[in-house]
Structures are given as structure tokens and as C-alpha cells.
Amino acid sequence: MPWKSGTVMDSRREFVRLVEQGDISVAELCRRFAISRETGYVWLRRYRAEGEAGLRDRSSRPLTSPTRCAPEIESHIVDLRGIRPSWGGRKLGQRLRDLGVTRVPAASTVTEVLRRHGLLDPAESEQRTPPQRFERSAPNELWQMDFKGHIAMDRGRCHPLTVLDDHSRYSIGVIACANETEQTVKAHLTDLFRRHGLPVAMLADNGSPWGGSGATGYTAMEVWLMRVGIRLYHGRARHPQTQGKEERFHRTLTVELLQANRFADLIACQAAFDAFRRIYNTERPHEALGLAVPQSRYRVSQVAFAEALAMPDYYAEDVVRRVHQDGATCFRGWRVKLSQAFAGLDVAFRPTATDGVWRAYFMRFLIAEVDLRDQAGKTAAVRKVSDRSAGLVTV
């Protein structure tokens, strides 16, 4: 309860003086000064023990804090934050435990240590909201890949190519490329396939060199991956959340490496990428993994990469046709336009439940539906089978 009038110290002096006079009871004086009896007896007890010094305000800070973060632990937190300035309380705490530090406090305490040392940006903290996450059930079911825009070097430009396992968030590769051509991507993917084995499918953006923007055609990259044994999916146009894990990885790459460094050439870039990838996979706790590191959840694929590209083979009942150099083939007297990427290769046609509508396959992959019901034309209507799926929207 507040003191009624005058300064706080004057009111307290007057209160204890009147009590000492003994003319009015303590209870009555407490009522007149609008304070509780508990408060009145506190100030009276302090005055009798310490004189007027006992009437001064005291800090509410406890004399001892048995649960307070130990100075050496606080020093570890501050030092690690200096090394990893973009990591928050959960990651820092988990990393300290991984390093063998004992009695690491809760993530909220680690965050409070950062705040006390001025190592948190309040505006950035307010913007952080937990995302809704979806993931594949096992490693190598889906790899996401993309270029992270180009970055300037002292000599030329670097185009970082990143490949990420959807289930474990394991960085399959961060590669410093001189360009974004199909030949460059195929060469680097081949190296990754040799080392990590083959995924079931891959997810990429639309456009060069990935493909996906054409209504019916396939690119050489898509056909090459099908021959390797991998289906390439494409994200929905203008929906970057389809490749949410890649987008998030690119942000981490920017914050923790690219924005703080300048590189001389591709060799220097690759050396930095290799060091970053090691930290990302083996040291950096990942919140989406319950603060485990990606390496703890990743296993290499049991499906090995075959150096010789497989040739298509089909069932005996399939209607098999060779694709010409112009990307078309003849089927039942109709010209069926597919893609020049299939030139020189065989495709198979299989009937559907709808009379006059057939499905075209390349190896085990469904590539198109062919409609022969338009009797007026000489060229069949071909619809590329959608390679986009709502189930691929993974953040």
C-alpha cells in the first residue's frame, strides 16, 4: 500500500515517531497512513534495529541465487555466440551440451544471458514465429536442389548449387559453380550420386536448367535423371514455400557465411562452403530435428549410381515407338509430339480406361497422356502429366 502524503522517507519517520509515542495503537496508525499492518510492523522492526537507515528502500534482489547461471557457463555462452552470432538460445545450449559442458541451463536462460550481454536484436526476436513443417519419412526419399543466386568474387562470379535431403535436412552438397548450365549441374550431381547413392526423387524450381515450364516438353536434364532412375518434381510457380527447406538453408548460408565474407575465386568459395557444410551437418543443432544435428538422421542411399545410363525396357504388351530427332514419333497413324530430349530413345504407349486415350511412358515414368479422339487432325493432342504435387509443399 502507498504512503499517503509527503515524501516516502518523511512519512515513514512520522509513522515510527508516532508509534514510539505510544498514544495511538499501531493498527490505528497503519489505517491512518493507509498501509497494511504487515508493512507497518516491517518498517517499525527495521527502525528499531537500524535507526533511520532501516527506513530506506532495499533492493528486492535475493541475497543468493542458487539457480543462477554460473559465471563460467555464462562465459561459454557468450564465447560460443561470438563464434556463431546467428544462433539462438536453443542451438547454443544444445551445442554446449554436445561439447561436453555440464549443467547447461534451459534455452530461456541462455536467451536471457544473450539479452543481458546485449547480444539480441529485439526487433528480430519479435519477427520469429515457429513455422509449420512437413517432411518425408526417411532419408533419400526426396532431395531438394536449387541455385542460390550468384555472388560476386574478386575474380568472376560464383553460383552456389545446394542439395538438401528433405527428411534429415542434411546438406548433400554446397558447390561453387562458375555457371548454371545443364552440363555443370549434371557433372556435380553425378559426383553427389557416386558419394551418397540415389534418391527416389528430386525437387527443383522451374526454368533452366531444371525444366518444368513447358506445357508438354521435357528437358534433357529431366530425361537424364529419369535414365539415372530419379523422378524430378517441380515446385509450383510463384510458390517458394514448395521448396521451403532449400529457402531456409539459403538464408542460413547467407547469414552465417556469405554476408560476412568476400572470396577471391571459386577455389576459395569451395573451401568456405566445405567448412560451412561440415558445421551445418555435424555441429549446428537444427530446431526442426529437436535440436539434433542433420548428420544424426541421415543415411546414405542403398541404391548405387550406375556409370552407364540405362536404356529403356518395356513389357511385351506395350506399344513401343522410337522418338525421332524432332521429338515426335508415329503412333497408330498419328504424329505424337513429345520432346527432343527423348530423341533416339524408345517410349511405350499403354491404353487407359477411356477409349482413344493412351498413356506414354519413358522407362518406369509416366510422361504424357495422348488423345487420339480428334478425327479431324493429323497430330495427336498430348498433355504432359503434372509433376507437381501438393504433398511436396515442405517447409
201-204 and 142-147 beta bridge pairing? parallel
What is the structure's pLDDT at 33? 84
Per the listing, cell 477411356 goes with: 354
Which DSSP string do the residues of 324-389 spell out, in sequence order?
-TTSEEEETTEEEE--GGGTT-EEEEEE-SSTTEEEEEETTEEEEEEE---TT-SB-EEEEPP---
Structure letter (DSSP) for residue 391: G
Return the percent helix, strand and coil in the chain, to nearest 5: 40, 20, 45
What is the structure's pLDDT at 263? 94
Handedness of CA 134, 111, 68, 42 (dihedral sign): negative
Residue 150, number of CB atoms within 10 A of its CB: 15
Distance CA 33, CA 1 (A): 9
From the number of C-beta atoms within 10 Å of its C-beta (0-12, 13-18, 19+), residue 365 rates as: buried
| Residue 202, H or E segment | strand 201-204
3-state secondary structure of 82: helix
Distance CA 87, CA 84 (A): 6
CA dihedral 362, 368, 372, 377 (to 10 degrees): -110
- Grid cell at residue 145: 536442389
pLDDT in tens, the chain (395 residues): 455 445 788 888 888 888 888 888 888 888 888 889 898 898 888 888 888 888 888 777 665 555 567 778 888 888 888 788 778 888 888 888 888 888 888 888 888 888 777 777 655 554 454 444 566 779 999 999 999 989 999 999 999 999 999 999 999 999 999 999 999 999 999 999 999 999 999 998 877 788 755 545 788 999 999 999 998 888 765 455 557 788 889 999 999 999 889 999 999 999 999 999 999 999 988 888 888 999 999 999 999 999 999 899 999 999 999 999 999 999 988 899 999 999 999 999 999 988 989 999 999 999 999 998 876 667 788 887 755 443 444 44
Distance CA 108, CA 102 (A): 17
Distance CA 135, CA 164 (A): 12
Distance CA 34, CA 106 (A): 43
Phi/psi region, residue 241 (left: phi>0; alpha: psi -120 to 50; beta: rest), is alpha
Model pTM? 0.67
381-384 and 365-371 beta bridge pairing? antiparallel
Q: Residue 142 corresponds to which amino acid?
A: L
* Alpha-carbon distance values, 24 to 37, 324, 334 (Å): 14, 113, 114
